[in-house]
């Protein structure tokens, strides 16, 4: 997952919109849409304005453990453990679905028609793919593949007490291998495909993995560190071509061969219990080395059950486009859920999602166009870029098309604000038809629900995407440690900037944090550190009891609680808003506290800012900031001002550029009414974006403070001395 991958969303947004604009400009019917659009809703708005009622989404609940203010989902008095009678593990859930939907499609992968490698003048080669239709495995065939693979592992002499690691991009084989391990009660270690060598070594060594299942790209990485992998004995490669450098180090078997020997030598399943560890998920933490989170079948099943209630009418008609990393809890839950309800999972990649994606050969189709998904998951960074891409294109067009887009947008916005979702049948239809249809076509045109997680979604993006795509966005808040369970925003909740109320599997409690000035007795809303309790709260960190004890607690009623370190407040309807982060609070030399996250969130609104990290320490009385400049905005400004420059790096070094960006930050700081010590006294402009590959942001694009501090330690020191 890299930042670049998402840039093609931006390009996609642009390409598609251009056509829409041209069509609109040539179409006289536009004008009738315009007029009807303007008149009808005004009357309705007046009629309905007063009928709005506040719906209670979360209600107070009496809980054990540390005192605080706790909320439960208003529909579920006690936390949900399973939504399926008699089912207590993911293995049972999958088997049941396969029997029920035996002849239906389950897993699909696109056929590769051709692959070209282009080497443009700058020497950086890139690949273009021509992909065909999806080829499908039915539930019945997928179940056979899973059973065969499970038996095949026995033939390879993998003992069930030993752990398996799956280290690969999201694909069909990943899911099959996962289910196969579940059937034999083998714990799966998951590792982000973009994790660095050090972290990879550490996680494989720590969990004493004996079998690694990977693609040939990842196998090359393993070969590089083979000297340090003491416990790995065998590798199962998902691709047919196995790199020659790998031979001799381990027994290497192809995925297809494992299935084949398994088919010839079937072995009975060895099903796990609910409390057995299903997955040890290594997460790229914001600080330090990654930690392995141990999740039981019961943990994941609780979240899967709870998420099912979020997506209205989820069932066997749904088609899901899978492209986020399966090593991320959100994707793992999503695919287990879709396969439980009889839905269809089509695999794609971030670089081939749309027709204009960077790896898609010109003139051929992207994953979304071919699959036409009805449900998707996304991380906020993707949605931000879709929004920016569409906006930029509209702004660049200007004139009537911009006016029309703006009008359509503001009409939809006031309809949503003034009333509940889905009102204004006629007007909505017209705007959809003339303005938003082409935007929707980027994702295949049939999206009816989007699930966003991994990081908070900005209010602006949430509104923009749900208006342009016409599909509600369910925003979830949760952590790997809580198996993604915690809160979610309901489809009919059109407020923005909040993360909703408790998922049916969780209780959410706020506890006092006096040092940070957040108390549950605060008015008008109780505030405090967010603590999550319930069956989705995981067992803890693998081989790290000390850290586990620090952030996990079991209360006298045997409920597990996880201390998130996030600060939140409860609204009157029981919905949570995240307002701060405990870890990010720094005490300055003179004793003032600076909330890094709060200041960064505010300042990142500046159009010049692509990314920002505020730095403060107890040795200085003021803070400084590293700012990754937005190339588009800064170059735009420079050309308007007639500032000459040879390239973007050169421009970012210029005194006048820094001054311009700094003054933009200053204005925002003033508007946000920041204290003087909260405003960076100096900034350093950087011209290279922070990507997961560079290790400076997580796969969900959250900044990694420690890594950035280390990488730019000289620059930070200079900011304090110069
Ligand atoms: C599953 O595996 C774990 C670890 O090897 C073991 O402790 C547990 O008893 C097993 N469960 C069953 C039902 O065999
Ligand atoms: C292997 O290691 C070398 C040197 O450390 C590095 O340049 C190369 O990119 C690595 N290869 C892979 C596939 O990670
Ligand atoms: C692997 O783990 C063992 C203990 O489990 C430790 O002694 C060894 O130093 C580790 N090796 C590496 C390369 O981290």
- How much of the chain, in percent, has pLDDT values that exceed 90? 58
Structural domains of the chain, count: 3
Examine the domain organization and report whether 12 and 97 are in the same domain. Answer: no
Which atom of ligand 1 lies nearest, measured to the CA of 272? 13
pLDDT, residue 40, reads 39
Cα 206 to ligand 3 centroid, rounded to whole Å? 7
Examine the domain organization and report whether 318 and 397 are in the same domain. Answer: no
Q: What is the per-residue DSSP string for 251-288? A: EEEEHHHHHHHHHHS--------TTSEEEEEEE--SSS
pLDDT, residue 157, reads 95
* Cβ(228) – ligand 3 distance below 6 Å: yes
Q: Which ligand is nearest to the CA of 198?
A: 3
Residue identifier of the C-alpha nearest atom 4 of ligand 2:
224
Rounded to 5°, the CA angle 338-93-234 comes to 90
In a domain, 303, yes or no: no
Which atom of ligand 3 lies nearest, measured to the CA of 229? 13
**Span of 355-359, 527-531, 560-564 with lowest mean pLDDT:** 355-359
Examine the domain organization and report whether 327 and 417 are in the same domain. Answer: no
Residue 217 DSSP class: H
Examine the domain organization and report whether 220 and 319 are in the same domain. Answer: yes
Residue identifier of the C-alpha nearest atom 1 of ligand 1:
185
pLDDT, residue 498, reads 83
CA–CA gap between residue 722 and residue 493 (Å, rounded)? 50
CA–CA gap between residue 614 and residue 144 (Å, rounded)? 53
In a domain, 385, yes or no: no
* Cβ(249) – ligand 2 distance below 6 Å: no
In a domain, 85, yes or no: no
pLDDT, residue 194, reads 65
Q: Which ligand is nearest to the CA of 181?
A: 1
Cα 437 to ligand 1 centroid, rounded to whole Å? 52
pLDDT, residue 184, reads 97
Residue identifier of the C-alpha nearest atom 3 of ligand 2:
224
Answer with the one of 409, 442, 475 that is the final residue of a domain. 442
Examine the domain organization and report whether 39 and 169 are in the same domain. Answer: no
Pair type for strands 344-347 and 319-322? parallel
What's the mean pLDDT in 524-528? 95
Cα 233 to ligand 2 centroid, rounded to whole Å? 22
Q: Which of 101, 30, 458, 166 lies closest to 473, judged by CA? A: 458
Which atom of ligand 1 lies nearest, measured to the CA of 276? 1
Cα 211 to ligand 1 centroid, rounded to whole Å? 18
Examine the domain organization and report whether 198 and 321 are in the same domain. Answer: yes
Beta-strand ranges (E) seen in 490-618 are: 501-502, 507-511, 527-533, 540-541, 552-554, 560-570, 576-581, 585-587, 593-595, 609-615
How does pLDDT run across 177-212, given as a tens digit for each residue? 999 999 999 999 998 766 778 889 999 999 999 999
> For residue 60, what are the contacts with CB-CB under 8 A and spacing of at least 6?
69, 70, 71, 72, 574
Examine the domain organization and report whether 265 and 158 are in the same domain. Answer: yes
Examine the domain organization and report whether 259 and 407 are in the same domain. Answer: no
What's the mean pLDDT in 71-81? 95
Cα 115 to ligand 2 centroid, rounded to whole Å? 24
pLDDT, residue 699, reads 67
In a domain, 10, yes or no: yes
Contact 426, 49 (CB under 8 A): no
CATH of the domain at 189: 3.40.50.12780
SS3 553: strand
* Cβ(667) – ligand 2 distance below 6 Å: no
pTM: 0.79
* Cβ(205) – ligand 3 distance below 6 Å: yes
Examine the domain organization and report whether 202 and 248 are in the same domain. Answer: yes
* Cβ(201) – ligand 3 distance below 6 Å: yes
**Span of 72-76, 336-340, 460-464 with lowest mean pLDDT:** 460-464
Cα 245 to ligand 2 centroid, rounded to whole Å? 13
Contact 466, 386 (CB under 8 A): no
SS3 14: helix
What's the mean pLDDT in 359-367? 93
Examine the domain organization and report whether 264 and 407 are in the same domain. Answer: no
pLDDT band at 492 (very low <50, low <70, confident <90, very high): confident
pLDDT, residue 370, reads 98
Residues flanking ligand 1, CB < 6 Å: 161, 185, 272-273, 276
pLDDT, residue 295, reads 98
Answer with the one of 442, 457, 474 that is the final residue of a domain. 442
SS3 596: helix
How does pLDDT run across 561-616, given as a tens digit for each residue? 999 998 899 999 999 988 877 777 787 877 777 888 889 988 998 999 999 999 99
SS3 250: strand
- pLDDT at residue 344 greater than cutoff 60: yes
Long-range contact pairs involving 550-559 (C-beta distance under 8 Å, separation at least 24):
551/481, 552/481, 553/65, 553/66, 555/63, 555/64, 555/65, 555/66, 556/64, 556/65, 557/63, 557/64, 557/65, 559/63, 559/64, 559/65, 559/507, 559/533, 559/534
In a domain, 251, yes or no: yes
**Span of 371-380, 563-572, 702-711 with lowest mean pLDDT:** 702-711
Contact 476, 488 (CB under 8 A): yes
- The residue segments making up the domain with residue 190 are 90-113+129-272+311-343
More confident residue, 474 or 190: 190
In a domain, 159, yes or no: yes
Examine the domain organization and report whether 184 and 107 are in the same domain. Answer: yes
In a domain, 635, yes or no: yes
The backbone torsions φ and ψ at residue 195, rounded to the nearest 5 degrees and listed phi first, read -70, 145
SS3 331: helix
Examine the domain organization and report whether 32 and 140 are in the same domain. Answer: no
Cα 130 to ligand 2 centroid, rounded to whole Å? 29
CATH of the domain at 699: 3.30.300.30
In a domain, 3, yes or no: yes
Which atom of ligand 1 lies nearest, measured to the CA of 273? 13
pLDDT, residue 476, reads 84
SS3 491: coil
Which atom of ligand 2 lies nearest, measured to the CA of 220? 13
- pLDDT at residue 25 greater than cutoff 60: no
Answer with the one of 399, 425, 442 that is the final residue of a domain. 442
Contact 202, 290 (CB under 8 A): yes
């Amino acid at each position: 997952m890299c930042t670049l991958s998402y840039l093609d969303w931006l390009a996609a947004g642009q390409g598609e919109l251009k056509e829409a604009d041209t069509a609109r400009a040539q179409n006289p019917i536009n004008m009738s849409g315009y007029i009807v659009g303007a008149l009808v809703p005004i009357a309705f708005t007046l009629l309905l304005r007063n009928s709005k009622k506040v719906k209670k989404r979360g209600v107070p609940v009496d809980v054990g453990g540390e005192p605080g203010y706790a909320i439960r989902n208003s529909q579920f008095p006690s936390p949900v453990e399973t939504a399926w009678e008699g089912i207590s593990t993911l293995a049972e859930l999958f088997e049941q679905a396969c029997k029920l939907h035996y002849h239906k499609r389950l897993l699909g992968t696109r056929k590769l028609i051709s692959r070209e490698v282009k080497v443009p003048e700058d020497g950086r080669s890139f690949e273009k793919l021509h992909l065909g239709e999806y080829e499908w495995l039915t539930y019945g065939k997928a179940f056979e593949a899973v059973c065969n693979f499970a038996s095949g592992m026995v033939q390879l002499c993998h003992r069930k007490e030993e752990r398996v690691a799956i280290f690969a991009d999201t694909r069909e084989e990943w899911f099959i291998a996962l289910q196969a391990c579940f059937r034999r009660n083998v714990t799966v270690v998951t590792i982000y495909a973009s994790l660095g060598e050090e972290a990879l070594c550490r996680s494989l060594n720590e969990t004493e993995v004996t079998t690694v299942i990977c693609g040939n790209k990842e196998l090359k990485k393993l070969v590089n560190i083979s000297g340090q992998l003491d416990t790995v004995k065998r590798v199962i490669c998902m691709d047919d071509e196995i790199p020659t450098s790998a031979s001799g180090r381990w027994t290497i078997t192809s995925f297809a061969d494992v299935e084949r020997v398994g088919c010839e030598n079937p072995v009975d399943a060895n099903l796990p219990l609910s409390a057995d560890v299903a997955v040890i998920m290594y997460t790229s933490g914001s600080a330090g080395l990654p930690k392995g989170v141990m999740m039981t079948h019961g943990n994941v099943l609780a979240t899967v059950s709870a998420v099912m209630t979020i997506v209205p009418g989820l069932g066997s008609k749904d088609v899901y486009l899978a492209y986020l990393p399966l090593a991320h809890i959100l994707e793992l839950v999503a695919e287990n859920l879709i396969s439980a309800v009889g839905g269809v999972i089509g695999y794609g990649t971030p670089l081939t999602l749309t027709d204009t994606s960077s790896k898609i050969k010109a003139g051929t189709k992207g994953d979304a166009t071919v699959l036409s998904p009805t449900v998707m998951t996304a991380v906020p960074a993707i949605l931000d870029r879709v929004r920016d891409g569409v906006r930029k294109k509209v702004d660049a067009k200007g004139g009537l098309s911009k006016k029309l887009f703006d009008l359509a947008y503001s009409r939809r916005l006031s309809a949503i604000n003034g009333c509940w979702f889905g009102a204004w049948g006629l007007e909505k239809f017209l705007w959809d038809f003339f303005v938003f249809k082409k935007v929707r076509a980027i994702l295949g045109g049939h999206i009816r629900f989007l699930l966003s997680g991994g990081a908070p979604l900005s209010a602006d993006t949430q509104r923009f995407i749900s208006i342009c795509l016409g599909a509600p966005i369910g925003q979830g808040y949760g952590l790997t440690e809580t198996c993604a369970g915690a809160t979610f925003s309901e489809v009919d909740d059109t407020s923005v900037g909040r993360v909703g109320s408790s998922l049916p599997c969780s209780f959410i409690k706020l506890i006092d944090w006096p040092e940070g000035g957040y108390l549950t007795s605060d008015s008008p809303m109780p505030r405090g550190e967010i603590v999550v309790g319930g069956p989705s709260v995981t067992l803890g960190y693998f081989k790290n009891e000390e850290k586990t004890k620090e952030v996990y607690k079991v209360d006298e009623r045997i409920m597990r609680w996880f201390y998130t370190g996030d600060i939140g407040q409860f609204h009157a309807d029981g919905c949570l808003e995240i307002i701060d982060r405990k870890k990010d609070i720094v005490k300055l030399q003179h004793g003032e506290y600076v909330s890094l996250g709060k200041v960064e969130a505010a300042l990142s609104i500046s159009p010049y800012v692509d990314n920002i990290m505020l730095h403060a320490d107890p040795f200085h009385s003021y803070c400084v900031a590293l700012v990754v400049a937005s190339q588009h905005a800064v170059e735009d400004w420079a050309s308007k001002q007639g500032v000459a420059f040879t390239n973007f790096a050169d421009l970012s070094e210029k005194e006048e550029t820094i001054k311009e960006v700094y003054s933009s930050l200053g204005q925002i700081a003033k508007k946000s009414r920041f204290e003087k010590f909260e405003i960076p006294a100096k900034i350093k402009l950087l011209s290279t974006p922070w990507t997961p590959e560079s290790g400076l942001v997580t796969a969900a694009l959250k900044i990694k403070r420690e890594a950035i501090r280390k990488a730019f330690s000289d620059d930070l020191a200079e900011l304090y001395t110069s």
